[in-house]
Every structure is written in structure tokens, then in C-alpha cells.
Amino acid sequence: MRRVLIGVAILALLSMAGLTLGMGVADGEMETEEGDPLIPRELLFGNPDKITVRTSPDGSRISYLAPKDGVLNVWVGPIEDPQAAEPVTNDTYRGIRSYSWTYTNEHILYIQDKDGDENWRIYSVNLSSGENKDLTPFEDVQARITKVSRNFPEEIIVGLNDRDPEYHDLYRLNIETGKMTLIQENRYFSSFDIDDDYVVRFATNMTSDGGAVIFRPTEEGGWEVFSEIPMEDVITTGLVGFNKTGEILYFVDSRGQNTAALFAVNPATGEKTLIAEDPRSDFSGWMVHPTERNVQAAAFTYERKDWQVIDGSVAEDLAFLATVADGDVEVVSRSLDDRTWIVVYVVDDGPFRYYRYDSEKKEAEFLFTNRKDLEDLPFAKMMIPAVISSRDGLNLVSYYTLPIGSDRDEDGRPEEPLPVVLYVHGGPWARDVWDYNPAHQWLANRGYAVLSVNFRGSTGFGRDFVNRGNLEWGAKMHDDLIDAVDWAVAEGIADPDRVAIMGGSYGGYATLAGLTFTPEVFACGVDIVGPSNLTSLIETIPPYWQPQIELFATRMGDHRTEEGRRLLFERSPINRVENIARPLLIAQGANDPRVSQNESDQIVAAMQEKGIPVTYVLYPDEGHGFARPENRISFFAVAEAFLSEHLGGRFEPVGGAFENSTITVPVGAEEVPGLKEALSDRSA
């Protein structure tokens, strides 16, 4: 799905990028006296064997991301023999994380940035000649793939902020020659919607009150209002696509109701027809025919993903696929003739399972898992769900994982209270889901119960739930996390003296808030690329997010007004550093464009000034999260030693975890067992 919601282009502001992408390579399990094997970090946080599996549009070839010399690259092979695939790209350092086919069937597109700066470049690989071309060779410019259409196999539409860092102009780009033609200069809009004929149909911009207006072009070359979206609906409403003719719009809409439903809209008449809805949760995905472009199924996710069949022609297919393997099924790729489907099954206690499905024969062939080394490991089940009641009566859909052997009677409660890690998701306009979660499995394997909470402001549960988080950073959003801890204590899951808080991005902010606003609750905290100063956070957002600045102003606090700055000051952990009384580990990427290094530097300096111990881990070649597996593994080595010291769980010694990592520890290496020695061994 291309773009579901108006604000989604930046709703991942404080979501993690690349922290737990894959699962890696190791020599095996390490037996421990406690019983179940200690699963090596490399297995949990290293590279996957194969992931992002796709079929070519003509169905003749298969592609996936897999390591080449330890670095993720794109591999392509015959659909009948995936094991014969060979690498077609040659990234040697950071790894490729996103790619797609073009409709020529002979080109692969992928994007890459430099050390996490998110100034993406678009590359094209010619599979016949092997030529790899940088299509957007511009310094300090962010390129976006905006539209790919089978009507123009050799051309794509891209957005470039080369003229103005705040706005992406639209270009028609030839993927073979690299020739670009400007089709839409942009001096106002945050996003565009383009049909398969490469016609700019709509453009969107935010309003001063945090809402949005969708415009459409006029015959005179101007713009007229097509639809207005109030602030309360802007996160849960937006155009997501067109039908085959372009005469029908597919629109996700929460206006006039709570949860976001999927509608078909006739732009000429304004007629709006409901396609699918769910009273408990928002629209979360769809299946669309690859050429006819009609909606065939729609997904909604409350506890787990649930599919509603819209087009009876796929009912038999989906019913059959539900019998093939356990887990939540997702169709991730289809050939244009619709015969070849790539299907993945997601479970909570093992790797993804990929199948090739023949829709004519109604046969599914197992291909591989994304990590063979994980297939027989003892993973814990994720409890689904714990619906926790907040102090003011909200239902917080949450997920928790218990260490294997801690719940012998299988009643969902351990035999005795355990040390707990409250693992907070990023966003905050995102959500936790039921699936295989490497962080949950890692922590449960080390002896901790792990709890993830969809606090107010999380997405997926209707507009009212999202809007309950407005202006509540560090306040009611944080209260929800504390209520979840209290629930875990009351249920006999958590030892109240051994609760840690950990998370990335917004989860990092929540960690800092936990140790400064409620310092008595948590035994320690792990902050990964989290903001400490909400005012400086907003003032340093990337320029290409400025068109949507009202999203932050209305939902975090307006840094342009005295009242807003006062609110942001009150909710910033940097201004309560003196309250920190429990150990803190901070990790940061030096090139992070979303949460700049200054966010971590500020709070570390303030703690040092007050004589408060802190450990600060800094990566010079990372951005918002840790893309390189060597860096992920090194960070989790530090984190588990830190948690073991303060919660009492077991840990795998640092050992060779720093090999090929760029980890630096400017402050506090002596605070984590084995860290100072490991750094000395590496530099020796």
C-alpha cells in the first residue's frame, strides 16, 4: 500500500529505522545452567538469509534481499529455482533495505543513503547488461520514488528537493538513460497523488489548525479544493489509490465515524461507497488485483490481522492459503497474469515462511524461511492480547512475552514475579502488533518478561484513540505506560523492584520521561535515539518535513507560541535531569536527521554536569536506528550486559560483538560490565 494517510509521510518521525531489521549468523546455541539455551545475539539481530521476496511482473523470476559477503544485496533467479539466484547489486557496506521491480521485467530499483542521513538516492540495475546506474547523483538531496506504472515501463515519477529543501518537485525519469523531465514544480504541497497515466490528480497540504486540504488541478492550471480533512481525522484519513480507469478513488476515511474505513469515491459526483470497515480497528492493508486494480480483500488489525474478502474471486484462494501453514498470511507479491503469488506466513515464535502459490492450480510450494538458523530454536509465545484498562478507562491493546519455563501451568502468568522490560514502540503514531519480535525473544531468552503497550496516540484503534494523545507527551501518554506497569505488578507478572523501560525513537523519549518524570518506577532505562528536548527536536526537523509542521504543533506543542514553548519545556526530560536516580544507557546515530545527535549530547552533558552517571554509545556511521548488523549486534551486547547488571537477567558476554562495528562510547564505559575491556581489546 503506497500512502494510507495524510500525515503518514512523517508519522514515522520517531519510529525506528533499521534497528531490528533481520536475524543473523552464528555458530549455534550456548547451553546454560538455567535450562533453555542462550540464543546468540547474531541469530537475533544479524542479517536474514532471505527477506523481501518478490516475483517479477511477468512471473518468470524471483528476487529477494540476502547477504553477499555479509552485506544485504538484491538477488534474482528463476522462479522455478530460487536457490539458483545470484546477486545483482554490490553494496559493500550499509546494505540495501528497500527495492522493487519495474515493469520492464529487466530492471530493479533500489534506494540508498549515506551513513543514515536519509538523503536517498535512486539506483537502477539492468539485469541484462548488469549495469548499475545512480539515477539521482545529487549531493544533499533526497529522492523519492513517487509512482511506478505498467503503462510506462521504462519511466518512473520521482520527487526531488533539489530546488528547495522543503519541497519535492516531480520529475519523469527514464530508468535506462537517466533523463529527467520536470512535470510539477512544487512550492506548496506536502504530497501528490498520481494515476497510472502519470497524471497528477491531487495534491495535499496541511492547514494552520493541523488539518489538511486535498486539491485537484483545474483546466486553467490552478488548483481547487477537492476535500477538507479536520485535524482530528488527518492521521486516519487519506487517498490510497485509483482503480484501473482512474475514475474511482480508493479512500481511507474516519470522518463521521471513529475507525478508518475503506471507501470508493467517484471524484466527478462525490458519491462515496463503503467497501470495508471494522468497529474496533482502522483499515490496515488490502489486496488489489495487479491489473484490474479492484479491491479484493481488506485487512483490519485489532489483536491480530483479520482479512475481509471483498471480491469473491479470491475467496477460495484465501481459504486455501489459510490451511497451508500456521500464522497470519500476507500476499506480498503477484505477477501481472495473477498466476504467481508470493505468500508469507508470520508467527510469533519463529521465522517467516515464504511460499510460491499457483492460483490456477491452487497449489502452494514452500520456498524457504527468512532465517533457517531460527527454525528449531526455543522461542517464547507472545501473549495475545492483554487489554489493559488505563486509569481513565481506555482499552490499551498490549502484548507480552514470558520466558520459556516461567509459566508451567500455561495460565499466562509466571510462577513468580519476574524482572520486566517495558519495551515502548516508536512513532508515537504507530503501533505494536502480534508477530515475531526479535527484541521480545532476546529479552525473554535472557530471563525477562517483556511488555509492549499501545498507549493513547498509537494508531490502528480509531481516530478518538489517536487524538487522546494530542498534547499528552510525557503526560497521559506516559500515564498509560505506568498503568501498564501497575497492571503487570498486580497480575503477578512483574517484580516491582525490577522493571526497566526501553525503546527507540519515541520509545527513547518515553525512557527518558520514565527516568525523569517517574524516577521511582523504573530500575533502569535504555534510550535509543530518543529526543530529550522537544523544543530543539521540532526546531531541527528535516526541511522536507516543514510542510507538515502543523502536525507537530497540534499534537506535541507549538514551538512558535509562548504557551506552546512552555508546554514543550515542561514535557522535555532535559529540564528534569536532576530527578534521574536510576542507571541510564543512551545510544545514538551521529547522522540521524530526525532526532539529531544533539538530543543525546544535551542530556548526557547535563547529567555529567550534575555528576549523574550515564553510559553513552555513539555510532558515527548510523542515522535513526542501526542499519549495519555489526552495529546492531554491538549495541545489544552492551544493552544486555547493562540490563543484567540492574535487573539480574542472564547475558552473553560481549566477546567479539564489536568486530567490524564502529561503536564508540564517549561517556560511561565503566558503568557496564565488560564494556571498557571490550573497547580496549578492540583497539589493542
Active site residues: 505, 592, 624
Please list the residues that pair with 144 across neighbouring strands.
159
Cβ atoms of 500 and 421 within 8 Å: the answer is yes
Buried b (16+ CB within 10 A) or exposed e, 534-560: bbbbbeebbebbebbbbbbbbbbbbbe
Stretch (H or E) spanning 147:
strand 143-148
DSSP string, 194-225: E-TT--EEEEEEE-TTS-EEEEEE-TTS-EEE
Q: What are phi and psi of 212, to 5 degrees?
A: -150, 155
For residue 681, give every residue at least 6 positions away whose Cβ sits within 8 Å of its Cβ, in sequence order, or none.
none
Q: What are phi and psi of 655, to 5 degrees?
A: 50, -125
Give the Cα separation of 64 and 78 in Å (integer): 12
Q: What cell does 583 get?
A: 542507571
Q: What cell does 514 get?
A: 520514565
Q: Give, in order, the Cα–Cα distances in Å from 34 to each of 310, 444, 445.
A: 50, 13, 11
Residues in the chain: 684
Give the Cα separation of 137 and 542 in Å (integer): 20
Give the Cα separation of 259 and 504 in Å (integer): 27
Whether the bond between 428 and the residue before it is cis, its omega within 30 degrees of 0, is yes
Give the Cα separation of 135 and 124 in Å (integer): 7
Q: What cell does 561 get?
A: 507560541
Please list the residues that pair with 264 across neighbouring strands.
250, 273
Name the residue among 669, 633, 665, 666 with its Cα closest to residue 652: 633
- Rounded to 10 degrees, the C-alpha dihedral 295/301/304/309 comes to -20
Give the Cα separation of 567 and 601 in Å (integer): 22
Give the Cα separation of 680 and 684 in Å (integer): 6
Give the Cα separation of 74 and 85 in Å (integer): 10
Q: What cell does 306 get?
A: 483479520
In this structure, are strands 167-174 and 305-309 parallel, antiparallel, or unpaired?
unpaired
Give the Cα separation of 672 and 682 in Å (integer): 16
Opening angle at CA 566, ends 475 and 213, nearest 5: 80
Name the residue with cell 522462479.
Answer: 79
Half-sphere exposure of 507 (CA within 13 A, CB side): 29
Give the Cα separation of 402 and 406 in Å (integer): 7
Give the Cα separation of 386 and 399 in Å (integer): 6
Please list the residues that pair with 520 across neighbouring strands.
none
Q: What cell does 386 get?
A: 492483554
Distance between start and end Cα atoms, the chain:
50
Opening angle at CA 449, ends 619 and 588, nearest 5: 10
